[in-house]
Amino acid sequence: MRRLLATVCLLLLTATFMYAQEVLRGAVKEDLTGDPIPGVTVFEKGSSNGTITDAEGRYELKVKNGQAILVFRYVGFSTTEQAGGGDVSLKEDVLMMDEVVVTALGIKSDKKALGYSVQRVGGDALTSSGESNMVNGLNAKVAGVQVISSSGSPGAASFIRIRGSSSLTGNNQPLIVVDGVPIDNSQNTGGNPDDGDNALLEGVSQSNRGADINPNDIAEMTVLKGPAAAALYGIQAANGAILITTKKGSTTGKKGVAVSYNTSMAWDQVNRLPKMQDQWSQGRFGLYRAPESGQSRSWGAMIDTLSWDNNSPDPTNPYQFDNHGAIVPSSDPSARQAVTPYDNVKSFFQTGLTTDNSLALSGGNADASYRFSVGNTHTKGVVPLSDWGRTTAKFAGEAKLSNRLKTAASVGYTNSGGSRVQQGSNTSGLMLGLLRTPITFDNSNGATDPKDQAAYLLADGTQRSYRGGGGYDNPYWTINQNPAKDQVNRIYGFTSVTYDITKWLSAFGRVGTDAYSDNRQQALAQGSATAPAGRLYLEKHNYRHLSSDLWVTAQHQFSEKFQGSLLLGANAFSKHYDKLYTQGDGFAIPGFNHISNMQSTLSRNYSENKKTAAGFLEAKMSYDDWVFLDITARKEWSSTLGKGNNSFFYPSANLGIVWTDAVGLKDNKILPYGKVRLSYASVGGDALPYSLGKYYQQSTIGDGWTNGVTFPMLGTAGFTTSDVLGSPNLKPYRNNTIEIGTDMRFLKNRIGFDFTYYRSKSVDQISSVPVASSSGYTNLILNAGEVSNTGIELTLNAAPIKTKNFHWDIQVNFTRNKNIVVSLPPGIESLFLGGFEGTSIRNVAGQPYGQIYGGTFVHDANGNLVIQDDPNQGGYGYPIEGKEEVIGNPQPKFLCGFQNTLSWKGLSLNILWDFRYGGQIWNGTQGALAFFGKSSITDQRDDPDHVFTGVGGHLDADGNLVSTGATNDIKAPLNQKWFEGNGGGFGNVAEHFIQDASWARLREVTLNYTIPTKVFEKTPIGGVNVGLSGRNLFLYTPYEGVDPETNLMGSVNAQGLDYFNMPNTRSFSARVGITF
């Protein structure tokens, strides 16, 4: 190692210049057809002296020796060598061994030369999936990657995780890099900054900012799964990286401007809703209660005993809560017409519509290229009046200013935003109000236009809702009166320069930036449940970062078989985030949503700054094109850690050996390719800004039930000790990963697999750890705890049929990851990640990451439910309430994507199945609806002789279980009281609402047809491609709620909560692409 490095350094110092003396010329053709191939890389073997072929496939290269060996390389063709230049024919490469992938820092590399696992997804696969959020387009297509969308609401955030989570409480999502420059993928939490993540339990769902990228601009995405792959990106890529390469103008295509236009339309429908009872009216104890009573629940009379009365058909004075009349028992003399139930849920949702248009102009020649694109996508949601749209413009250009100097630049602009949906535990939450509505109340009041005020306003202007205006909002009120709009303006891009100092030494510099503003306005009209006096939120989020890279690369051919390269570089990164939050309470003029119209206002400003600086090197060596060794090292300094602890060093090494070449199997028919990979990496991570000390903050005071009060109040300012205490001596956390893998191809590459096993350990976690608040603080930031990930990834490729015109390709992506919280800081039993006081997502030592934690029933040692057999204790004959503990595991046992592609001439059919086995969700929606007598589990609501399955037993005075183990035979009524207590979601027990969220899902079906170019020979049209696709067409799951691909809090570590989550959608789309 030491000698090797010394040699490389020596080379850097003692290099001599070489001078070209002769010119070699020729043309490169396709072996089979004889067509010229433009864009072939031609270089002198063992040097960086090279060029590429022009549109006619011709090349010219100056060399110092006329018999120099030239290497011809082009993706999809076998690399060919020829001495002395001249014409060359390239053969199609059946093995695809020369696949080039983008690796860290945007450097291209032969996939063959990598000692770690990477996987590519082409841009076409993203666009044809019809997903407007590019993160979702990765679903089921890459082994090791898990994507969870929060809902089917327009613009809703998606969470992405590669190889599990490694940080106890910090960020666990991968870095997203566009053309070598990181971009921000945050889901910026709305609401008062003092409330932190709590705002995610309610309010509206925001986007992850990766949704601002137009998938039509993406040429390909490469997923760098392990930290080995990402070692050169440093801290930010501790959870892997997704490298996006955007489309560029062709340097070799035909002359003139290439125009490409794509348009598509998609229709979305809600794909799954919770099951509800349809027999019982509003009320309690079997008696109907009218909306005026304010009664929240549906434990009333059976609907077939109720009628609308005859007092209300008077059109001049209809009953304000129902056009059909007030509800009376059918035996009442005023009874007129039997009540029929309303299906509020079905009638509320509509078919959503997404339109997407994208136009790109591109062109170029050997010296320069450009691409300019504009795109617009607009989604009208399944929830009336909700929408989300994105307009993008992007320019990318490259130019060769001289033989030595190249520049490139790209700038993208995005405007995105829409009208969001109120969700979650929010009393203005849409699903909350919608699903709780009794079947005897028509939210729409017969109106068919969702904007019709008849649905949500009474004659006196107050809210029309099933609780007589109290409790929570009529969904039609929410969508009309509580609009939440956001508007993002974003610009991102880079400019770079490459200078070839000598034949073997080049320098590269790049400055990239990403900046956006996100302006949000949300109004809660006067009379809304959440803020009866009315409230207005104004939020302005500003984000910007600047990332600068500089590096030099040297390469050298040591001998005929032995070559190496060295990269030495530095990076400086700085980011700034600022949030200005203003809340106004009490509208003076109803309906005028402006801050000047509010009776009181409060304002908060939160800003965050961070800088890092790093130096790095990468040394690559290869021997005879079958042994590849790559060593990286990075030293990074971070502003968020204290002096003396603020730098960390991380090395990685990886080795790839194509052993089939070594043992002479290179052209073997059965096993032409076999490679083993071995990699080790250690990366470090820093703390969040301002984690080092003790602070005070402006006081906001409340409780779990009310909005609370906030200083300044009563004419004075108020400050309180921050609940979180920092530690001045925080040190970086560490993640060490080892990865081994193999890539094998059989039978001329008709079948092959790529297998990876990895194990990672993240130690010295930096977390905000809860402490007993009798210490004065609720949390302490410290280094402690360990998380491990062990897993396998298997990608299987097969081509069962491969004839000239017909192809059948299969790809299977299998992911299994065991993500264990090995240890927590001393004294800590569990760490809260998110959720409610009763049911939360927590990290528990020795358990898988992010467990569902909540109230249990007492079970005996055999796991049987214990039923109270002591008549002197409460709840005789019912299950006994136990402690709060782990009740569910949201981590799936495995994920599997199964893709079949059938193509015949221009026609191709792609079918992607997505299987998820295991992983649980807390169905809090069902729990709450059981309390309200709305869930279908309350169909069995009057069983006086119910016997709970379990064993008899009770707790003694010390809380110890006393049980003979005899099967319970005590009768205990299963009725309203049970569901309003521990049988429902507002009792203290949550374990019976933990459900399996496995699924089998037909994620994508795409039918594409490329019309033969012959058809357009005499027109300016270059080609036409049409496609039909469907998403989520089929879903099987044992989960009893909405589509389990959902999450209350969106793109955060706390996954596995469903509390009135917005449903997901299925969609059908049609697409046409035309090139000129």
Partner 1 sequence: MRTLKYIHFALLVGLLGLTSCSKYFGDVNTDPNRPTDVTPTVLLPSAEVFYAYGMQGDVTRFTSLLMNQVYGADRQFATYQVYSITETDTDNWWKLNHYGGAMMDLKNMIDYAKTGKQIHYMGIAKVLMAYGLMCATDLMGDVPYSEAFQGLDELQPKYDTQSQVYDSIHSLLNQGISNLADPTSAVVEPGSEDLVYGGDLGQWTKLAHVLKARAYLHLGKRNPANYGLALTELAGGFSSAGDDARLIFGETETSAAPWYQYNDQRGDIVFESFVTDTMLALSDPRYYAFYDTSAGWLGSYFNSTSSPYFFASYVEQMFIIAEASFETGDANTAVTAYLDGIQASMARYGVVADSTFTADILSETSASLTLEKIMFQKYVALYLDPEIFNDWRRTGFPRLTPNPDALTPGGVIPTRLPYPQSERLFNPNMPANNSITSKVWWDI
Least Å from the CB of residue 513 to partner 1: 18
Least Å from the CB of residue 681 to partner 1: 15
395 binds partner 1 (CB under 8 A): no
Q: Of 980, 1040, 1045, 1058, which lies in the binding site for partner 1, with binding defined by CB under 8 A?
A: 980
Q: Which residues, numbered 232-271, are part of the site for partner 1 (CB under 8 A)?
A: none
With a CB cutoff of 8 Å and minimum separation 6, the contacts of 447 are: 454, 455, 476
User: Containing H/E element for 149?
Assistant: strand 145-149
Measured distance CA(39)–CA(52) in Å, rounded = 5
693 binds partner 1 (CB under 8 A): yes
876 binds partner 1 (CB under 8 A): no
- CB atoms closer than 10 angstroms to residue 704: 8
633 binds partner 1 (CB under 8 A): yes
- Of 569 and 890, which CB lies nearer to partner 1 in the complex structure? 569
Cα end-to-end span (Å), the chain: 54
Contacts 24+ apart (CB under 8 A), 8-16: 8/554, 8/556, 8/564, 8/566, 8/619, 11/554, 11/556, 11/566, 12/505, 12/554, 12/566, 15/502, 15/504, 15/505, 15/554, 15/556
- CB atoms closer than 10 angstroms to residue 919: 24
Residues in the interface with partner 1 (CB under 8 A) total 116
Check if the beta carbon of residue 480 is closer than 8 Å to that of residue 447: no
Least Å from the CB of residue 530 to partner 1: 7
Q: Which residues, numbered 1033-1052, are part of the site for partner 1 (CB under 8 A)?
A: none
572 binds partner 1 (CB under 8 A): yes
Collapse the DSSP code of 131 into the 3-class scheme (helix H, G, I; strand E, B; otherwise coil) and give the result.
Answer: coil
Instruction: Mark residues 412-441: x for contact with partner 1 by CB under 8 A, - for none.
Output: ---------------x--------------
Three-state SS annotation for 269-306: EECCCCCECCCECCEECCEECCHHHCCCCECCCEHHHE
644 binds partner 1 (CB under 8 A): no
13 binds partner 1 (CB under 8 A): no
546 binds partner 1 (CB under 8 A): no
755 binds partner 1 (CB under 8 A): no
DSSP code of 431?
H
| Preceding peptide of 712 cis, ω within 30° | yes
- Of 499 and 637, which CB lies nearer to partner 1 in the complex structure? 637
Measured distance CA(784)–CA(767) in Å, rounded = 8
- Of 62 and 611, which CB lies nearer to partner 1 in the complex structure? 611
Measured distance CA(780)–CA(769) in Å, rounded = 5
- Left (φ > 0), alpha (ψ -120 to 50) or beta: where does 106 sit? left
Q: Which residues, numbered 275-294, are part of the site for partner 1 (CB under 8 A)?
A: 294
Check if the beta carbon of residue 739 is closer than 8 Å to that of residue 228: yes
704 binds partner 1 (CB under 8 A): yes
Measured distance CA(619)–CA(474) in Å, rounded = 64
- Of 875 and 1023, which CB lies nearer to partner 1 in the complex structure? 875
- Token readout for 853 is 């934690």
871 binds partner 1 (CB under 8 A): no
Q: Which amino acid is at 736?
A: N
DSSP code of 716?
B
- Of 42 and 566, which CB lies nearer to partner 1 in the complex structure? 566
Span from 78-86, 113-121, 363-371, 866-874 in contact with partner 1 (CB under 8 A): 866-874
Check if the beta carbon of residue 522 is closer than 8 Å to that of residue 417: no
Measured distance CA(679)–CA(652) in Å, rounded = 7
Q: Of 174, 684, 987, 1044, which lies in the binding site for partner 1, with binding defined by CB under 8 A?
A: 987
774 binds partner 1 (CB under 8 A): yes
Span from 157-165, 345-353, 391-399, 702-710 in contact with partner 1 (CB under 8 A): 702-710
Least Å from the CB of residue 546 to partner 1: 13
532 binds partner 1 (CB under 8 A): yes
773 binds partner 1 (CB under 8 A): yes
Instruction: Mark residues 591-630: x for contact with partner 1 by CB under 8 A, - for none.
Output: --------xx-x--xxx-xxx-xxxxx-------------
570 binds partner 1 (CB under 8 A): yes
- Of 670 and 772, which CB lies nearer to partner 1 in the complex structure? 772
Q: Of 79, 727, 903, 936, which lies in the binding site for partner 1, with binding defined by CB under 8 A?
A: 727
Span from 18-26, 410-418, 974-982, 1049-1057 in contact with partner 1 (CB under 8 A): 974-982
Span from 259-267, 386-394, 530-538, 557-565 in contact with partner 1 (CB under 8 A): 530-538
Span from 320-328, 646-654, 672-680, 1058-1066 in contact with partner 1 (CB under 8 A): 646-654
533 binds partner 1 (CB under 8 A): yes
- Of 210 and 987, which CB lies nearer to partner 1 in the complex structure? 987
Sign of torsion over alpha carbons 708, 924, 1067, 374: positive
Q: Of 495, 722, 811, 900, which lies in the binding site for partner 1, with binding defined by CB under 8 A?
A: 722
